[in-house]
Structure 1
Amino acid sequence: MDYIVFLVAMAALIYGADFIIKESERIALHYNISHFVIGATLVAFGTSLPEMAASVMASYYGKSDMAVANVVGSVTFNITLVLGIVFLIAKAMKPKRDLFAVDSAWVIIPVIIFIVMIQDGEIGRFDGLLFTLMMVSYLFFLFKTSKEELEEEIDEDLEKEKFGWFKSITLLVIGFAFTIGGAHFVVESGTSIARALDVSEWIIGLFLISLGTSLPELIVSIVAVRKGHAEMSIGNIIGSNVANFSMVLGTAALVNPLGINIEKTSFDLIVLTSASLVLLFIIANKIYNKAGGIFLLTVLALLLQHYIV
């Protein structure tokens, strides 16, 4: 029964987040807010909303391992699984933007800050505040460097639809209800599954919750590939990972300080760091092809092999 509750709750969490983002975009378009401003905020926040809901709820219930593992797992899956699949199925990718020159710092610096912050075994409220300030810095960065790409993210069909306050408010309420309720039951059922399988809440957060909350990134990236915009996926994943560390982890830490056992989680932290370094190597050498995809999926296979064998 817990597995069914978990799957239903995860679906509610993801669909609720989608309702919130879509209706927020619809309202912004109604008020003639620029496409760039909408793109900057929604790209930064949108696909990370499920992770934020799950981690904040886990933090609220005092389940630090689950809250932190969700972020560690999501960032790892975003790089290895999502981009690995994108590079495997996409045709030749030749981004106009020099990703290494412009975005490389945002690939590795959040990871370094995270590793430094957890050396005392806790991500406290002050650390959480610093993380959220990093999100502010990233938004300024988007405003200065990504105008053209962000404008392309706006849903053209949504812009053409007739606006109605009743519909938008109703869908927003449904979205928040699904997101908050889904997050609650994801954490509760995930905890029950951990007890039944006699595994730690860290493992449930690292695999089940993080994989589920990474589905929006995977879906968005596959859609981008089908539309011939595969290069957008790289920027979206970098932005989503920054949001995971800053907005998701930062907000969760502000709710409750998050403890972390570095010795027990060292392998996962090494994989996280390795995945980020591999992505840095790929964008530095422009290996946006099947070789890059296999490289990333190999890192994922090492993580899975560690727990399966």
Structure 2
Amino acid sequence: MDFIIFTVAMAALVYGADFVIKESQRIALHFNISHYVIGATLVAFGTSMPEMAASMMASYGGKSEMAIANVVGSNIFNITLILGVVFLISKNMNPKRDIFVKDSAWIIVPVVIFMLMIQDSVISRADGILFLLIMVSYILFLFTGPKDDFEDAIDEDLSKEKFNWLKTILFLGIGFVLTIGGANFVVESGTDIARLFGVSEWIIGLFLIALGTSLPELVVSLVAVKNGNAEMGIGNIIGSNVANFSMVLGASSIINPLTINLITAQFDIYVMVGSSIALLFIVANKLYNKTGAIFLLTILSLFLLNSF
């Protein structure tokens, strides 16, 4: 039964992602907003909802390690797996936005703040409020800073259509429901199987739930690349990682302060920090190609080999 649920949920993810990308394009075209900003906000927050739901439920149930492991694992998979695959399959990817100049701080600063917060092995409610303020700052930064030139490739058929708010909101909502609902069913069926084998909460959060809740980002980013919107894919990952720290950990720690065993989590946290530094190196040198892909996928391979 779990295999049937998994197959149906994956189909929902694919179709939902297509709805999200199409309607996000409509909004970008209507308001003359770059695909990067749409990807880093609307799409990123939407695809981060599974992480938020999973971590908040874990926090409510007193499973702190699962809540934190979900965020740590999701950020690792977002960078190494998703961007690795995006860079591998995209052709002639050349974002017009200078991501290193404009966005490098948002790649590394949330990681540094997270590292400082966990030194006492607790993410308190006060820390959670600070995380939520970071989210507000990020949104203000994207929408009040200098605008990108709106020269992203967009579906020509969309540009000919008259913008309809009701239709856009309806299909965007359907897309998010399918994407997030599909991810949740993937997580639930996978977690049930894992528990039968007595796997720890940290491992369940780090791999099964983190990978499952990262599926919307993966599918949305792949669909974006397929539609010629690689910038939306990159924006989605950077925005999702910011949202994971600020929105997901922020809300989860306000429900219940989160405790973490730094000895158990040490290796995985180091991989997360290393992945963020690797992404910083890639955007600084504009390695949006197979070289960058191999770099990220190698980190993922080493992470998986050392974990298992």
Quickly name the TM-score band, shorter chain normalised: 0.7 to 0.9
Q: Aligned residue for 2:200? A: 200
Q: Measure how far apart 1:285 and its partner are.
A: 1.2
Q: When the two structures are aligned, how many residues end up with a matched partner?
A: 304
Q: Aligned residue for 2:75? A: 75
TM-score (norm. length: structure 1): 0.80
Query: What is the identity, as a one-letter code, of the residue corresponding to 1:129?
Result: I
Distance verdict in 2 for CA 1:175–1:92, change over 3 Å:
closer
Distance verdict in 2 for CA 1:53–1:281, change over 3 Å:
same
Distance verdict in 2 for CA 1:19–1:55, change over 3 Å:
farther
1:165-216 deviation per Cα after TM superposition (whole angstroms, max 9, x unaligned): 7997899699779968985x77776665444222211111111111111111
Q: Aligned residue for 1:91? A: 91
Structure 1: gaps spanning 5 or more residues: none
Distance verdict in 2 for CA 1:92–1:160, change over 3 Å:
closer
Q: Aligned residue for 2:243? A: 243
Q: Aligned residue for 2:142? A: 142
In 1, distance between residues paired with 2:94 and 2:24? 32
Q: Aligned residue for 1:298? A: 298
Q: Secondary structure at the match of 2:48?
A: helix
Q: Aligned residue for 1:114? A: 114
Q: Which moved more, 1:93-102 or 1:12-21?
A: 12-21
Q: Measure how far apart 1:303 and its partner are.
A: 0.9
Q: Aligned residue for 2:100? A: 100
Q: Which moved more, 1:158-167 or 1:139-148?
A: 158-167
Distance verdict in 2 for CA 1:146–1:93, change over 3 Å:
farther
CA contact (8 A) 1:60 1:256 kept: yes
Q: Measure how far apart 1:14 and its partner are.
A: 9.5
In 2, distance between residues paired with 1:55 and 1:111? 18
In 2, distance between residues paired with 1:105 and 1:148? 18
Query: What is the identity, as a one-letter code, of the residue corresponding to 1:288?
Result: Y
Q: Aligned residue for 2:285? A: 285
Q: In the TM superposition, what are the counterparts of 1:1-309 in structure 2 within 5 Å?
A: 34=31, 36=33, 39=38, 41-145=41-145, 147-148=147-148, 192-308=192-308
Distance verdict in 2 for CA 1:11–1:205, change over 3 Å:
farther
1:213-258 deviation per Cα after TM superposition (whole angstroms, max 9, x unaligned): 1111111211222222223322221111101110111111111111
Distance verdict in 2 for CA 1:190–1:215, change over 3 Å:
closer
1:127-156 deviation per Cα after TM superposition (whole angstroms, max 9, x unaligned): 111000000010011113374479969998
In 2, distance between residues paired with 1:243 and 1:16? 20
In 2, distance between residues paired with 1:211 and 1:299? 16
1:253-298 deviation per Cα after TM superposition (whole angstroms, max 9, x unaligned): 1111111101101010011011011111111111111111000000
Q: Secondary structure at the match of 1:97?
A: coil
In 2, distance between residues paired with 1:126 and 1:255? 11
Distance verdict in 2 for CA 1:291–1:173, change over 3 Å:
closer
Q: Which moved more, 1:65-74 or 1:187-196?
A: 187-196
CA contact (8 A) 1:221 1:233 kept: yes
In 1, distance between residues paired with 2:52 and 2:262? 22
Task: Kindly report the root-mean-square deviation, in angstroms, between the aligned alpha carbons of the 2 structures.
Answer: 3.8
In 2, distance between residues paired with 1:230 and 1:88? 12
In 2, distance between residues paired with 1:275 and 1:60? 29
Query: What is the identity, as a one-letter code, of the residue corresponding to 1:74?
Result: S
In 1, distance between residues paired with 2:5 and 2:90? 35
CA contact (8 A) 1:35 1:151 kept: no
